[in-house]
Amino acid sequence: MPGDRPTPSFETVRYEVADGVATITLDRPEALNALTVGLKADLLGAFRAVDRDLRVRAVVLTGAGRAFCAGQDLKERLDPGAAPLAVELRERYNPLIRQMRALDQPIVGAINGVAAGAGASLAFACDVRMAADVAAFRLAFGRIGLVPDSGATWFLPRLVGPARAAELALLDEPLSAAEAARIGLVARVVAAESLMAEARVVALRLAALAPVALALTKRALERSWSVDLDAALEDEAWRQGVAGATADHAEGIAAFLEKRQPRFRGE
Ligand code: T3D
């Protein structure tokens, strides 16, 4: 198939592709998947691989072991050679979040355990979040005298509203999976043992949809935050023109009329 490439491998991230779904697993369970320079580079590499891989139509992001991600590796921070914080953000964290948001393919966050600091930000940057019943969110920045980063101050108010965002960011209260679902931060909570299976079902559903329309929808939703209704209406009209010219749109209509499942090809 055109676009087929060897599946890349990374030291601290597992990258697996099956049935159009790439599963990216943060893989430093002994440190609760805390983010080292190496893990951040691997994660960026994995998301770039998704970008180039025409087989991939949806992504699942999760963590190995009992945590999703504990944020910056605080032990590595003590290394005298560690980059200054602002540099670390500009050179490592921000490109990672930008790459996640730039992907055409939707990302399903399978939040298997605690998501703290920049680990919470990684979860916020996903398009759909599902949490295991044992999962929890913790901003954690305030406790170590830092400002929420990696997009946390941008995503949180948009996801849960300004009042809950301020509470979470300023008081640094842990948020259980159940409460995260109640305030709309995660789409659903499932038993820990069925999280990956359920996340995969959602990813497979996304992978079966029309890729161009999905990518356009992602962009439209994101753009809606910064424009007024008039501009949003015009933006939708432009995007619909693009989606309506795809072969997948014609296939969708044909499948509806023939009472069969559509076979979308991303064209
Ligand atoms: O570059 C920059 O610094 C700028 C960017 C900053 C972005 C950030 O993410 S700042 C926020 C950093 N993260 C944190 O402050 C969270 C620290 N961790 C925790 O608060 C707790 O570990 C958790 C709430 C995540 C989980 O608590 P618990 O009780 O389930 O586990 P634990 O016993 O605290 O941790 C288990 C092990 O993981 C432990 O190691 P040990 O003692 O068994 O050898 C612990 O040290 C290690 N660990 C947990 N979090 C980190 C970590 N090691 C390094 N860095 C961590 N962030």
Model confidence, pTM: 0.96
**HSE value, Cβ hemisphere, 13 Å, CA-based, for 143:** 11
- Residues 181, 221, single domain; the answer is no
Over residues 230-242, mean pLDDT? 97
Over residues 174-186, mean pLDDT? 97
Per-residue pLDDT tens digits for 95-154: 999 999 999 999 999 999 999 999 999 999 999 999 999 999 999 999 999 999 999 999
- Residues 189, 254, single domain; the answer is no
Pocket test for ligand 1, best of 33, 68, 74, 78 (most atoms within 8 A of CB): 74
Q: Which of 206, 164, 243, 163 is nearest to 22 (CA)?
A: 206
Per-residue pLDDT tens digits for 54-109: 899 999 999 999 999 999 999 999 999 999 999 999 999 999 999 999 999 999 99
Residue 125, pLDDT score:
98
Residue written as token pair 């965002």:
165
- φ, ψ for residue 134, nearest 5 deg: -90, 0
* β-sheet bridge partners, residue 15: 24
Is the pLDDT reported for residue 51 higher than 60?
yes
Q: Is residue 267 part of a domain?
A: no
Contacts of 253 (CB under 8 A, 6+ apart): none
The distance of Cα 75 from the centroid of its chain, to the nearest Å, equals 26
- Residue-averaged pLDDT of the chain: 96
Which pLDDT band, with edges at 50, 70 and 90, does 4 fall under? low
How many independent structural domains does the chain possess? 2
Residue 74 beta carbon below 6 angstroms from any ligand 1 atom: yes
- Report the CATH number that the domain containing residue 231 is assigned in CATH: 1.10.12.10
- φ, ψ for residue 89, nearest 5 deg: -65, -50
Distance 78 CA to ligand 1 centre (A): 13
CA distance 136 to 113: 6
- Report the CATH number that the domain containing residue 47 is assigned in CATH: 3.90.226.10
Three-state helix/strand/coil letters over 84-101: CHHHHHHHHHHHHHHHHH
- Residues 191, 221, single domain; the answer is no
For 237, the domain range is 211-258
- Ligand 1 atom nearest residue 138's Cα: 24
* β-sheet bridge partners, residue 90: none
- Ligand 1 atom nearest residue 119's Cα: 9
- Residues 78, 120, single domain; the answer is yes
Atom 48, ligand 1: residue with shortest CA distance: 31
| End-to-end Cα spacing for the chain | 14
Q: Which of 89, 76, 85 is nearest to 35 (CA)?
A: 76
**HSE value, Cβ hemisphere, 13 Å, CA-based, for 109:** 28
Over residues 161-166, mean pLDDT? 95
- Residues 23, 134, single domain; the answer is yes
Question: Does an H or E element contain 107, and which?
Answer: strand 107-111
